[in-house]
Amino acid sequence: MRSFPLRFIILRSQQLFRPNCSLLKLMSSRTIKYHYSQEINRNNHNSTNQGQNKTENKTIDIQPQQMIELFQQLISLRKLEPTETNQEEMITTLDQLVPFIENFNTHQLEYFLILTNEMIIIEHELTDKLFEQTKQLLYSEQSNFNQTLKILSLLIENPLKEEQLEIFIKFLFTILEMPYLDASTLGNAIYVYGLIVKQYQIQSEDFYQSITRHLKRIDKDYDEIMMKGKKDSQLINLTQQDLKQLALGLHFGGSKTPELQKYISIKAQSIFIEIQNLILISKFLLNQETINQEFLNFFKQELEKSKDKLQPDDFLQLMVVAKSMKQQDSNILEFIVKRFLKIKSQFSLGDKAFIYQKMAQVQFLSQDLWTQFELDIKEITENCECFDACLMFYRIFDVFDILKPECQEFIFNYIIAKQNEIDAEMKELLLQKLQEKGIVSEQEIEESKNQV
């Protein structure tokens, strides 16, 4: 038996705000109060209706054979080499599945969205249909809140109308005000809200300050943690996954709330967290004006202890963390370079280009790193798009002086050879950077423009 009234969500997601409430007003952080007891009583009184509601939902019954075959076809296409023909066939299959959306279960809905997001931008009308089915699965108890929030995170990857955005945020706020909100649901809801804030540039700091109210309900040690910096709690209310989702949501939303920084910093040191998740949590904690030195020291110790467990993707994430720090930490950058050079064969050419580009942005002048770049540059440029190579060079010009003359000449020769493939905007960016760094003179730039 569920520990909260389902009709609470159904009714409140429709009634929570006035339908013509402006989006700006909607973004403000209000404390939303409900008459829980009345809602629970009403739900209990009508409990006999739940069985009827289930039978009305089409996903409970046997699914159409054609729909099942289309999903099987998608799975088969997904396993093939990604060619243009295969992608076109996948798009056609996805389009054929649209009439069956009201028959999708949660896993089919998620799979459909993942593939669709890779192929096309979902139109507003289709977003409405998918969201409606998402709600129906939740209301009929065929989906839980965390699965629903996962679907929501996939839906918001596509452009939303203001009305759709309002509806999504109402839905999120309603979930956050459930009487029995748990840590996983809180973390996932804040994660989704952070994605919305990032994509639509919503003012959100007031909202994030209100999160402490939810944390106090979930973590019984909250006050002691904040007052004493307690790290040895036997009462674990947040898992590493919950903490990661919460921290990423705060990071995406640009939260600067000191209390949340302190709480997550202490919690991250008090529970077991795999290094991959700790790197993601650090995106929030190390992207602040004032960094908690205790956490920073702890983080660097954990990196060193777990260095043999780190995969190339972890280093890419760590590089993003290092670049985002207001004050660069040479120890972290040196750690990345040392490990990168040791296991460089495990990195794809694209990963290598990413590391070089980001290291150039922070102007990290490691002779060993840039010597390796000189060895890799030919293979990278031969196997990537011209635009990507030029974007990498745009950053490399920040450390151009550390490169040997032969490597500098290779870069210039590449740009000259590809000048007809480089679009006007990229050419302008490259010329501006060359002039800014004093690599070429203004006169040489003008002569170059005239030649083009």
pLDDT in tens, 268-286: 998 899 999 999 999 999 9
Going by the DSSP 8-state scheme, the letter that residue 221 receives in this structure is T
Nearest to 205 by CA among 246, 154, 130, 255: 255
Instruction: Give per-residue pLDDT as tens, 282-301.
Output: 999 999 999 999 999 999 99
- Asked whether the beta carbons of 340 and 315 are under 8 A apart, the reply is yes
Instruction: Give per-residue pLDDT as tens, 61-91.
Output: 578 999 999 999 999 999 998 888 999 999 9
How far, in Å, CA of 295 to CA of 134, rounded? 39
- Asked whether the beta carbons of 398 and 437 are under 8 A apart, the reply is yes
Per-residue pLDDT, 440: 79
Q: What is the pTM of this model?
A: 0.81
Q: What is the largest CA-CA distance in the chain?
A: 83
- pLDDT band of residue 206 (cuts 50, 70, 90) is confident
Q: How many CB atoms lie within 10 A of CB 4?
A: 16
What residues contact 164, with CB distance under 8 A and at least 6 apart?
124, 127, 128, 131
How far, in Å, CA of 131 to CA of 152, rounded? 8
Highest-pLDDT range among 220-224, 349-353, 447-451: 349-353
Going by the DSSP 8-state scheme, the letter that residue 397 receives in this structure is G
pLDDT tops 50 at residue 40: no
- % of the chain beyond a pLDDT of 70: 83
Q: What angle do CA 122, 127, 128 make, to 5 degrees?
A: 155
- Domain boundaries defined on the chain: 1-30+66-176, 181-309, 315-452
Mean of pLDDT over the chain: 84
C-beta pairs of 58-63 under 8 Å, 24+ apart in sequence: 58/102, 58/103, 59/102, 59/103, 59/104, 59/105, 59/136, 59/137, 59/140, 59/142, 60/140, 60/142, 63/103, 63/105
If one compares 237 and 55, the residue with the highest pLDDT of the two is 237
- pLDDT band of residue 47 (cuts 50, 70, 90) is very low
Instruction: Give per-residue pLDDT as tens, 91-132.
Output: 999 999 999 999 999 999 999 999 999 999 999 999 999 999
Per-residue pLDDT, 363: 94
Per-residue pLDDT, 446: 64
